[in-house]
């Protein structure tokens, strides 16, 4: 795919929309400021620090009561975004969201990896291929916001 400096936001959006697993958020900003987000890996930017959800998820699934985890960024007035964790437990009601959040925050490597909340779920939204759709869980937190990170 060849793009040049004169490529408009709309033209770029059409090209990127053809690529698999890519979501394009367009704006009136210059082409360099278009946000492209992968459905697999979404970087969380919290207080100017890059937070990788995978790093936090790897810690969460080490808990003996956790079956699956998905970490994503939600709006924060203080930090821009803050990580939260959606979790499926092996046995429902085996641990509270508060107790699990405390455990996670004690075990992550850095303060900026601490989750602000844990949401206990029975199942995650999934694609036809069975991939967890974090953007669907994340979108409900961003509704009604003028700015979307």
Model pLDDT for residues 41-81, shown as the tens digit of each residue? 479 999 999 999 999 999 999 999 999 999 999 999 899 99
Instruction: Please give the span between the terminal C-alpha atoms of the chain, in angstroms, as a whole number.
Output: 26
* Burial tier of 4 (Cβ tally within 10 Å: 0-12, 13-18, 19+): exposed
With b meaning 16 or more CB within 10 Å and e meaning fewer, what string describes 76-107? Answer: eeebbbbbbbbbbbeeeeebeeeebbebbbee
Across the range 144-149, mean pLDDT stands at 67
Is the predicted pLDDT of residue 147 greater than 60, yes or no?
yes
pTM tops 0.85, yes or no? no
H/E run at residue 60: helix 53-60
Other C-beta atoms closer than 10 Å to the C-beta of 71 total: 26
Q: 48 CB contacts (<8 Å, ≥6 apart)?
A: 80
């Amino acid at each position: 795919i060849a793009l040049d400096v004169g490529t408009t936001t709309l033209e770029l959006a059409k090209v990127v929309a053809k690529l698999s697993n890519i979501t394009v958020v367009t704006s009136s900003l210059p082409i360099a400021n278009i946000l492209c987000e992968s459905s697999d890996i979404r970087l969380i930017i919290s207080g100017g620090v890059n937070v990788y959800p995978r790093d936090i998820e790897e810690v969460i699934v080490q808990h003996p009561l956790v079956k699956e985890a998905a970490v994503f960024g939600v709006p924060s007035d203080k930090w821009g975004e803050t990580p939260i964790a959606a979790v499926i437990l092996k046995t429902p009601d085996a641990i509270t969201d508060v107790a699990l959040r405390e455990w996670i925050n004690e075990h992550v490597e850095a303060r900026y990896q601490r989750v602000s909340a844990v949401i206990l779920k029975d199942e995650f939204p999934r694609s036809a291929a069975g991939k967890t759709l974090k953007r669907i869980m994340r979108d409900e937190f961003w509704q009604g916001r003028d700015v979307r990170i």
